[in-house]
Amino acid sequence: MTQFNDTQLTAAVVDSFEDTPNPRVKFLLQELVKSLHDYVRKTDLTFEEWEYAIDFLTRTGQKCTLIRQEFILLSDVLGVSMLVDAVNHREREGATETTVLGPFYVGKHKQMPHGTDISANLTGERMFVQSRVTDLKGKPLAGVPVDVWHADDDGFYDSQKPSYAAEGPSSRARFVTDADGRFFFRTILPCSYPIPTDGPVGEMILQTRRHPMRPAHVHFLVDAPGYEPLITHVFIDGDKYLDSDVVFGVKDDLIAKIEKRSDPVMPDGKPAAGPWHLMTYEFHMKPGQGTAPLPLGFKETEDA
């Protein structure tokens, strides 16, 4: 039987994938082996540490459900999600910056009329969001579906709540841009919130003395035909966690100044029940192709 030392073993495992038919799969597996083996050598990984890692990954998988993806959360807090995003969007050419999808996108959202209050049953300071979708030259893009979603005033997404199955979606919807590329809706002002800390990822964050907080934001997924799908957040200017987002998702161009208003009516001409906030943001789309992602385990026939 052939015997290997710690460097010969790596070469043997890499060579074992030499006949892989798909060249990209072959490349990915061989590079993965090299990186993993390098990590083991550099750290002198012990049996106890290796067993802990296997147990951690096992528990991460066991925490996943159809509406919770603990592995995505792990990828986010290790900066892998943002790194994958960065290497796939190196040249933005004036297009709106991208950021992570996050673990709380539940797939295709229900289309609603412009001006809908998507957080009508929630407490919180009221906010009006007005936005526009254009190409890189400022030409409006009509008929573009835009999915929006965000956390409530307590920092929870609807899908995190036990009542989600019975009560359905809240603070998430799909809007379709009008002839001038515009869409608008009412909601509540998002707050900063912690990622879930009741699983192995949260355990890792707390044990390593990192805070689990994300700055306040609204998610947007803009899927215009003939353009690259845009997955991004719009962050609230002034949030104290903008410089220390636990998933490293903040970019300067994605921070919006929110105006506090006392006008008796909102921009759609309908009455305001009291003071409110105005978010204004314009999305610039990059020409290209692509398919908007679906969360793991999601079936395309479902509506959320």
Active-site amino acid positions: 157, 193, 214, 217, 219
Q: Residues with Cβ < 8 Å from 137, sequence gap 6 or more?
A: none
Token look-up 């990822």 returns 201
Q: What are phi and psi of 151, to 5 degrees?
A: -80, 165
* Rg of the Cα atoms in the chain: 22
The strand ranges marked E within 197-275 are 213-214, 217-222, 230-236, 255-256, 259-261
Closest among 259, 261, 258 to 234, alpha carbons compared: 258
Give the side-chain half-sphere CA count within 13 A for 20.
Answer: 15
Do 29 and 37 meet the contact criterion of CB atoms below 8 Å apart? no
Q: What is the dihedral of CA 164, 74, 243, 102, to 10 degrees?
A: -40
Give the side-chain half-sphere CA count within 13 A for 37.
Answer: 16
Q: What is the dihedral of CA 286, 291, 295, 296, to 10 degrees?
A: -140
Closest among 237, 257, 218 to 104, alpha carbons compared: 218
Q: Residues with Cβ < 8 Å from 36, sequence gap 6 or more?
A: none
Name the token pair of 67. Answer: 């509406």
Report how far residue 163's alpha carbon sits from residue 161's, in angstroms, rounded to the nearest whole number.
Answer: 5
DSSP of 281-295: EEEEPPB--------
